[in-house]
Structure 1
Amino acid sequence: MNDKRFAGKPWRWLVLALLIAAVVPWVASEFASAVALSCLMYIALATSWSLFCGATRYLSLATSAFFGLGAYASATLLGLLPWPLVILCGAAIASAVAVVMGAAVLHLRGTYFAVLTFGMTELIRHAVTFVEKQVSGTVGRVLMEVPTNETVYLTMLAIAGAAIACAILVKRSRFGLALAGIGADEQRAQTLGVDTRRVKIAGFALTAAFAGAAGAAMAVRWTYIEPAAVFSPFIGFQTVLIALIGGAASIGGPIVAAIVFSLLAETLRLQLPYGYMMVLGLLLILCVMYLPNGLATLWTARQGRRNE
């Protein structure tokens, strides 16, 4: 009875939030719109990262690689293809690379997997730098024809909304159960008939698709992009920290954490350039010590007390 009553609540909240967020560029200042865009970017990245890594407990540090590939796809194809196809190409390229990367490293777990995904991210960054120097003679690219700020914002809103919707659907599907089974006990999942290798690669590619789409959309916010900026490890590390602090096993935790830390970032960077990272690190330490499942633990405990 309770399941039927609350089954539609996430969708109603999602639609309401998207409708409210859609009017921001027309009612808020340019600075507020830029902050909202940053929130949407990290919502998409943290939610999609949690979709795979939160369920399987694989610590991926490859988010910045997929983001950067999407950004370079956008910079290359902008002006040649319609804007929606540019976003889809960014997602497709990142997803294709994730399939190859996943096939190579997803048999590993723990520290080995994390280190290898970070190493492959650096390999991709240096490969893009080498190709850029050989082909165009320069490292970066200047973006001349870019969509309007409103178009970029609505695109990022659609990507964030799609990431949340996908997370809800996956969590309630057999595919989501297979991912959770891998996280709980991968060998047992195999004995129960789950093709763990295929499921892991599919989940990894799905995560990469959203990161690539986000990179393709955000690339046009800069007039000049270069590998050091769009493949920045900071993007990947911050995504992981936001997801872990919010609660990678939940859907709402990374969303709330992304909003809070995006607001903190813009506030503290103006006054204390290094204060934001100090706050982020302190909160991560506190969460690891007292809330191992992230801030979502507080909400779960409150709901448990209310149901008693």
Structure 2
Amino acid sequence: MARPFPLRGATGYVLLALWVLLLAASPWLADNYTVRIAITIAMFSAMALSWNFIGGFTGYPSFSTAAFFGLGCYAGALAQRNGVPAVLAWALATLFVCAIAAALGAIILRLRGHYFAIGSITIVELTRLVVSSWGSLTGGGDGLNVPLMQGTPDMVAAQVLYVMLAVMLAAFATTLAVARGRLGFGLQCIHQNEDAADMVGVDTTRFKIAAYTLSALFCGTVGAVYASWVGYIDPTDSFSILLTIKVPVMALLGGPGTVLGPILGASALVLLEEFFWANFLQWNRAILGGIIVFLIFFLPGGLLKLDYRRILRRLGAGGGSRAPAP
């Protein structure tokens, strides 16, 4: 019996390395539009990997991504407006978002299932309302200007791309370490049966808080870098509810609870969005939504778990090749 084409394991890591090299080379090979797509892919890959800790490994349907991204935007922006260098501002924003996530996780992770999902959405709305109302600090609904990065547009785009790629690779390395370590084993036990995991000695509360904090870590970093890139933020865009839905869909599309799946799903969804925006402007949302629903319902394991060798063999047979005689 033929073995499935391995997009996991060593082959998957080789393909990931080639993909990262291709994204990194885009400033030298393509125009600014393509570089912007590469930045978007790296950014969403990092956020999908972040979400994977709580949603994929632990199985908790978190919709707090937009809250962590938005808090990272504002924390980084406020630090830079007070004279903190960009890189240090990004680091401080990351620490701030992690601290908020750990504090919120200790409260909200007492909930399970759809109660937890509703609570995580509430966090997004609560943080957005706080930021919108605190006009003396955040600018309120008028938004906030962020000091622009120095350099020509091409130089700035290249710098942002390499920073986003570094964050994505850091998220990937953390995912790999968690998946192979004690934390990953504990999170998978919680995913399978949380009560049984607690009975056999897994500290479920501490493990869940760790997963929830990790789900915020790289989202906060990405948010701070994004604010420096665009130069202006406001509550509506920074805490967009669409963002908090899109990121879990990316992880589910690629393969939840896997190491490479979130990157595959984020890359596929961003490229599909760009294709449909360019060719089906009026129908792109409907077409893309239909494809996503189809893949999630009929491919629950994600793209990573497809048997690609079998698909290629069938396509070859359909192209005229004759099946071997029994």
TM-score w.r.t. structure 2 length? 0.84
Note the residue ranges of structure 1 that are not aligned, 5 or more in a row.
1-5
* Residues 59 and 113 in structure 1, CA contact (< 8 A), matched pair in contact too: yes
Residue 159 (structure 1) shift: 0.4
* Residues 40 and 156 in structure 1, CA contact (< 8 A), matched pair in contact too: yes
Aligned to 1:129: 132
Aligned to 1:35: 37
Q: Tell me: CA distance 1:221–1:269, structure 2 relative to 1, closer, same or farther (3 Å).
A: farther
Over the residues paired in the alignment, what is the CA RMSD in angstroms?
2.4
User: Secondary structure of the equivalent of 1:78?
Assistant: helix
Distance 2:141 2:298 in 1: 48
* Residues 78 and 146 in structure 1, CA contact (< 8 A), matched pair in contact too: no
Q: Tell me: CA distance 1:8–1:242, structure 2 relative to 1, closer, same or farther (3 Å).
A: closer
Aligned to 1:75: 77
Distance 1:133 1:246 in 2: 42
1:21 to 20, 23, 43: 23
* Residues 25 and 150 in structure 1, CA contact (< 8 A), matched pair in contact too: yes
User: Secondary structure of the equivalent of 2:106?
Assistant: helix
TM-score w.r.t. structure 1 length? 0.89
Could you tell which deviates more after superposition, 247-256 or 167-176?
247-256
Aligned to 2:272: 264
What's the % identity of the aligned pairs? 34
Aligned to 2:97: 94
User: Secondary structure of the equivalent of 2:142?
Assistant: coil
Quick check: 1:207 aligned with 2:215?
yes
* Residues 67 and 127 in structure 2, CA contact (< 8 A), matched pair in contact too: yes
1:85 to 81, 85, 88: 88
1:162 to 157, 170, 177: 170
Bigger radius of gyration: 2
User: Secondary structure of the equivalent of 2:237?
Assistant: helix
Q: Tell me: CA distance 1:272–1:20, structure 2 relative to 1, closer, same or farther (3 Å).
A: closer
CA deviations over 1:32-55 (Å, ceiling 9, x no partner)? 000110111111111111122101
User: Secondary structure of the equivalent of 2:111?
Assistant: coil
Distance 1:244 1:233 in 2: 17
Q: How does 1:283-298 map to 2 (within 5 A)?
A: 283-298=291-306
Q: Tell me: CA distance 1:302–1:55, structure 2 relative to 1, closer, same or farther (3 Å).
A: farther
Distance 1:250 1:81 in 2: 37
Q: In structure 2, what residue type is equivalent to 1:99?
A: A
Quick check: 1:59 aligned with 2:67?
no
Quick check: 1:192 aligned with 2:195?
no
Could you tell which deviates more after superposition, 11-20 or 182-191?
11-20
* Residues 140 and 224 in structure 1, CA contact (< 8 A), matched pair in contact too: yes
Aligned to 1:46: 48
Residue 241 (structure 1) shift: 1.0
* Residues 249 and 293 in structure 1, CA contact (< 8 A), matched pair in contact too: no
Q: In structure 2, what residue type is equivalent to 1:115?
A: I
Q: In structure 2, what residue type is equivalent to 1:208?
A: A
Aligned to 1:282: 290
Residue 272 (structure 1) shift: 3.5
Q: Tell me: CA distance 1:64–1:273, structure 2 relative to 1, closer, same or farther (3 Å).
A: farther
Residue 85 (structure 1) shift: 1.4
* Residues 36 and 157 in structure 2, CA contact (< 8 A), matched pair in contact too: no
Aligned to 1:103: 106
Q: In structure 2, what residue type is equivalent to 1:200?
A: K
Aligned to 1:115: 118
Distance 2:213 2:15 in 1: 27
Aligned to 1:180: 188
Residue 57 (structure 1) shift: 0.8
Q: In structure 2, what residue type is equivalent to 1:55?
A: F
Residue 283 (structure 1) shift: 2.7
* Residues 253 and 295 in structure 1, CA contact (< 8 A), matched pair in contact too: yes
Note the residue ranges of structure 2 that are not aligned, 5 or more in a row.
1-7, 151-155, 314-326
Distance 1:126 1:202 in 2: 26
Task: State how many pairs are aligned.
Answer: 299
Distance 1:63 1:276 in 2: 24
